Amino acid sequence: MTTYRIGEAADLLGVSADTIRRWVDAGRLTAGRDEHGHRVVEGVDLAAFARAQAADPDAGAEFSSARNRLRGIVVDVRKDTVMAQVDIQAGPFRVVSLMSREAVDELDLRVGSVAVAVIKSTTVVVERAAPTPARGRSAG
């Protein structure tokens, strides 16, 4: 079974290691100790916790078939006469959207505003990430 050290769990959830420690201390996330005494979180427990955190969709989500919703902050808006590019930083993820200038103006999208990137795709490529050599993961 895969286990993650606190820093790895934090990286995967896009939060600080201190946040993970607080969640463990508060009993929101289950953690044990490895053979060196470091706190570790079982992969299935981390996945269940992440899923529970994402279970409450943004307002309006019930009116959409899209389930991939990334809430973030607009970090860049570039407009020309017809088209625009909007960059959103959603946790550790950068999402870039190309849309009409009219849509950007109607949504009043500006740097610093909160936006939700809604992604609907018929093709999603999934890759298995290699373990990070600096921290490593134990498998059992």
Give the model confidence (pLDDT) of 15-61 as tens digits.
899 999 999 999 999 999 999 999 999 999 998 888 887 655 555 56
pLDDT at 133 over 70: no
Average pLDDT estimate for 1-8: 89
- Mean of the per-residue pLDDT values of the chain: 85
Q: Which helix (H) or strand (E) holds 66?
A: none
Position 68 scores a pLDDT of 81
* Structure token digits, residue 40: 């570790």
More confident position, 97 or 55: 97
* Average pLDDT rounded to a whole number, residues 60-83: 83
Alpha-carbon gap, residue 4 to 115, rounded angstroms = 31
The pLDDT score that the predictor gives to residue 139 is 47
Answer yes or no: is pLDDT of 12 > 80: yes
- Least-confidence region, from 3-17, 49-63, 65-79: 49-63
Lowest-pLDDT range, 26-35, 82-91, 113-122? 113-122
∠ CA 93-96-100, rounded to 5°: 155
DSSP 31-58: -EE-TTS-EEEEHHHHHHHHHHHHSSPP
